[in-house]
Amino acid sequence: MSERFDCTTSGGRNDGIAAAGAAIRQGELVVLPTDTVYGIGCDAFDPAAVTAVLAAKGRGRDLPPPVLIPTARTAQGLATEIPDYAKALMERFWPGPLTLVLKAHTSLQWDLGDTNGTVALRVPSDETALQLLADVGPMAVTSANSTGSPPARTADEAMTMLGETVAVFLDGGPVNSDGPSTIIDCTGLMPVTLRHGALPQQDIDAALEPEPQPPAP
């Protein structure tokens, strides 16, 4: 039987985080609000749980889930060869609706699917999500919907599509955003936008412009 918690109050959020944390540590799935859409997720280091997330959505291993992390510093332990432009984007836009695809550390004991040695990382700007991530660590999280259906923007929509496959639903109220996160490939010499989303391309371009140099004396 799924549990649902009202996370619009501090008391309900604390109770929900405790229940969701316990469920995640037992290999179960949870639904959580983010700053873009609701997500369904699990412990990123639990391969069976990651498989369950993909199955709940009706998705294959060819579409591995992104990983949500509590702080930009966490990325240092998950990704390697982080270019300076990626660090600049992290500093400017995290927490926020920006997902960065980076080369993953080969020593990590996880299986997110067919990632080709990469990992997609994001720090969401949502109090409930960040509190949960601070408790349980990196989570494999993808949009809370059945494949082919619109992403859930309320807990009710997520419950309708995912039902009993989820142990805990954290209800943070309706999500009002300009779409999914913008995804940028940071595995090469230059950033490549893979998906346009809530973060406008012009903001990304502006953040990557070189600092103006003072005139020579």
Return the CATH number at 83.
3.90.870.10
Q: Rounded to whole angstroms, how far apart are CA atoms 161 and 149?
A: 9
Residue 69 tokens read as 């992390």
pLDDT category, 210, cuts 50, 70, 90? confident
pLDDT band at 178 (very low <50, low <70, confident <90, very high): confident
Q: Within a domain: residue 130?
A: yes
| CA separation for the pair 44, 133 (Å, rounded) | 11
175 within a domain of the structure (yes/no) = yes
CA atoms of 109 and 170, how far apart (whole Å): 28
CA distance 137 to 134: 6
Residue 215 lies inside a defined structural domain of this protein: no
User: Within a domain: residue 31?
Assistant: yes
Q: What are the pLDDT digits (tens) for 8-47?
A: 999 999 999 999 999 999 999 999 999 999 999 999 999 9
Q: Helix-strand-coil percent breakdown of the chain, rounded to 5? A: 35, 20, 45
Query: Residue 106: what pLDDT?
Result: 92
Residue 213 has pLDDT above 80, yes or no: no
% pLDDT > 90, the chain: 93
pLDDT at site 150 = 93
CA separation for the pair 113, 64 (Å, rounded): 5
How many distinct structural domains can be found in the chain?
1
Residue 141 forms part of a structural domain: yes
Chain centroid to Cα 182, Å, comes to: 11
User: Would you say residue 28 lies in a domain?
Assistant: yes
**CA dihedral sign of residues 136, 142, 147, 149:** positive
What is the Cα–Cα distance from 193 to 186, expressed in whole angstroms? 9
- Span 102-141, pLDDT tens digits: 999 999 989 999 999 999 999 999 999 999 999 999 999 9
pLDDT classification of 54: cutoffs 50, 70, 90: very high
Q: Which helix (H) or strand (E) holds 12?
A: helix 10-25
Give the pLDDT confidence score for residue 104 in this predicted structure.
97
Distances (CA, A) of 18 to 50, 106, 134, 161, 171: 21, 32, 12, 24, 14
Phi/psi of residue 131, each to 5°? Answer: -65, -40
The reply to whether the predicted model has a pTM over 0.85 is yes
- Which range marks the domain in which residue 190 is found? 3-208
The answer, yes or no, to whether residue 78 has pLDDT greater than 70, is yes
User: Does 216 score more than 80 pLDDT?
Assistant: no
Residue 214 is assigned to a structural domain of this protein? no
**Residue 216, domain member (yes or no):** no
pLDDT, position 46: 98
What does the pLDDT read at residue 193? 98
Q: Return the higher-pLDDT residue of 215 and 15.
A: 15
